[in-house]
Chain A
Amino acid sequence: MIRRNLWSKLILLVVAAFYVLPMIAMARFSFQRVPVIKLGWSTLGKNWTAESLMTAITSDRFLEAAWLSVRLGVLSVVLGLVILVPTTVYVHVAKRNARPYVEFLSMLPYVVPPIALVVGISGAMKVAGTWFLASPFSLVPFYVVISLPFTFRALDVSLGATDLKTLVEASRSLGANWTRTTRSVILPNLKVGIINASFLCFATVLGEYTIASLLLKFTLPAYLAESQGSNPQGSFSVGLLLLVVSSLLFGFMNRLSKRKGQVLTGLAL
C-alpha cells in the first residue's frame, strides 16, 4: 500500500511539473529581457521587467482588439442569455418532455468543428448577405452557437435539483403575477446558472481564434497572432495575461458551483 502511494505521488508530481513548467517558461520569456542563449546562473536575476507588457497593452492595436473582444463577449453573453434562459425555464416548467430535444440541439455544436462552421458560414453568407459578415458583430450569433453546449448545461444543471415547476405553481396559486414569479422565484433559482453560463460564454469568446481569423476580424487572439512577429515579448505577455484572466474566470466559477454542490467544467462531460 505504501509502495502504491509512492507511485501515485510520483505520477502526480510529474504531471504537475508538465502543467506548471510551460507557464514558467512563458512568464520568463515575457518578463525577462535576457535572450535564452545568454541565460545562466549569473544572469538569472537580471533584467526582469514588465515593460513589454506595458508597452503592448497601451498600444493602439491592442486596445482596438481588446475593446472589440470585450464588446463581442458582452454581446454574446447577453444574446445567449436572452435565447437560453426562457428556453431552459420553458422546458423545466411548461414542457418537460421537450428537454431531451433542446439538449440534443445544444450538443450539436460539438460535432461541427469551428473550422468547418466558418467554412459553412462564409459559403452560406456569400449568397445571402455579405453585408452581414462585413460587421465584426456578425460573430456574436456564432459565438453564442459555439458556447451553447456549455451555457445550456450550466443553466440546466443549476435547475437540476430544484423542482421549478412546483415552485412556480405554488407562487402562482399564492397570487403572484408572472412578473413577480419571475423576479422572486425563477431568477433566484437560476442565479448560479446564469453567472456560470455568462463566464463560460465570455471565456469562450476571449479565446476564440478560428472563426475570427477566417472572417478577418481583429479580436484579441488575432492581435496575438499579428504581433507575434513584430513584438514577441509583448505578444507573449499578453497571451499570459489572457491565460490568467480565463483561469480566474474558470476558478471563480468552480468555487461558485461548488458552494452549490456541483462541479462544473466548460466541457459537458
Chain B
Amino acid sequence: MPFTLFVALFLLWPTFWVFRSALQPVEGSNKPAMLEAISGQYLSAILYSVRLSALTAGLGAVIGTLVAVSTVSLNQLKGLRNVLVGYSAVAANLGGIPLAFAFVASLGMQGLYTKLLSEIGINLSDLGFKISDFSGIVIVYLYFQIPLMTLVMLPAVDGLKATHKEAAASAGATPRQYWQRIGIPLLSPSLLGGFLLLFANAFSAYATAFALSAGSSNLVSVQIRFYLQGNTITGKSNLGYALAAWMIIVMVLAMTGYLGLRRRSESWRR
C-alpha cells in the first residue's frame, strides 16, 4: 500500500538511520555512541530531561485530575464544561515559541507579573527563579500539561458511577473514604496512563524550552542540536544520534505503558 511505503520512507528510514549511527563509535573511541551517551555529561542531559518530564507530568496529572473532578462535580453549571473542554483542547496543543513568549512577558525579567510581585515584596530573581531554568520550564510546560490531563481524565471521572458513591455513602463512608477506597482505585489506570502520556509529551518537547533558554538549556532535546551542529569540529555527531536513539527508547516505553493502561481503563468502563 502507498501508505506503508510513505511511512517507511519518511519515518522508519530516518529512525533506522538514527539507530544505525547511534551504534557506531564516536571518533577516538571503540564503544558504540549509545554506550558513550549514558555516561558523564551526556547522561546528565538525559536525566535532566527525565526529571523535568516526570515533575511536570506529576504536577500536571494531579492538577489536571482535580480540574476534571471539579468540572464533573459542577455539572449543573451549564456551559462550564463546554468552555473548559474547548479551551483545554486548544491549550493542550499550544506550545512552541508563542507559548514561550507569553511566559517571558509574564514571568521573565521584564515580565508583567514579575513586576507586580515585586511591588508586593516578592522578588522572583532573589528567590532564584528564572524563566529559562528548571523551575521556569516546569511552569511553562504545565500550561499544556494540565489541560491535556483534564481531557484524559474527564471520561474516566464521568465513568465513576453515582451508584457507587451512593452505596458508599449509605454504608457510612465519608467522602474521604469513598475517594480512598473506591474513587482513586477506579481512576488509577487512567491516572497512571495519563501520567505516562504527559511524561512523553514533555520529554519530546523542544521548541518551547529552546525559545525560553535561547538554546542553552541542558535538556536532551536541546543538547542534540548542539552535537548535530558541532559535528564537523568535534567529530562527535554520533553522540547526537545516540541521544536521539535513547529518546526514542524512552518514548516507546512511555507510550506502550500509556496505551496498555488506556486499554484497561476502557474495558473497565464498559
Interface on A for B, CB 8 Å cutoff?
Answer: 4-5, 7-9, 11-12, 15, 18-19, 21-26, 28-30, 35-37, 39, 83-84, 86-87, 90, 102, 105, 107-117, 119-124, 141-142, 144-145, 148, 203, 207-210, 213-214, 221, 224-225, 228, 235-236, 239-240, 242-243, 246-247, 250-251, 254, 263-267, 269
Q: Count the A-B residue pairs with Cβ separation under 8 angstroms: how many? A: 236
The residue of chain A having its C-beta at the shortest distance from the C-beta of B80 within the complex is: A12
Give Cα distance in the complex from A157 to B204, angstroms: 26
Tell me if B95 counts as interface (CB < 8 A to partner A): yes
The majority secondary structure among interface residues of chain B is helix
Given A8-B74, A9-B70, A269–B152 Cβ distance below 8 Å?
Answer: yes
Give Cα distance in the complex from A262 to B155, angstroms: 13
Interface on B for A, CB 8 Å cutoff?
Answer: 1-4, 6-7, 9-18, 21, 63, 66-67, 69-71, 73-74, 80, 84-99, 101-103, 105-106, 110-115, 142-143, 146-148, 151-152, 175, 197, 200-201, 203-204, 206-207, 210-211, 221, 224-225, 228, 240-241, 244-245, 247-248, 251-252, 255, 259
Verify A25–B111 contact, CB threshold 8 A: yes
Inter-chain contacts of A9 with B (CB < 8 A):
70, 74
Partner of A120 from B7, B18, B87 at Cβ < 8 Å = B18
Verify B106–A7 contact, CB threshold 8 A: no
Verify A114–B206 contact, CB threshold 8 A: yes
Give Cα distance in the complex from A104 to B219, angstroms: 29
Verify A250–B89 contact, CB threshold 8 A: yes
10 other A-B residue contacts (CB within 8 Å) besides A19-B91, A119-B228? A19-B87, A25-B113, A87-B2, A123-B241, A207-B98, A239-B98, A243-B99, A246-B93, A250-B90, A251-B86
Give Cα distance in the complex from A179 to B133, angstroms: 58
Verify A8–B4 contact, CB threshold 8 A: no
Verify A23–B102 contact, CB threshold 8 A: yes
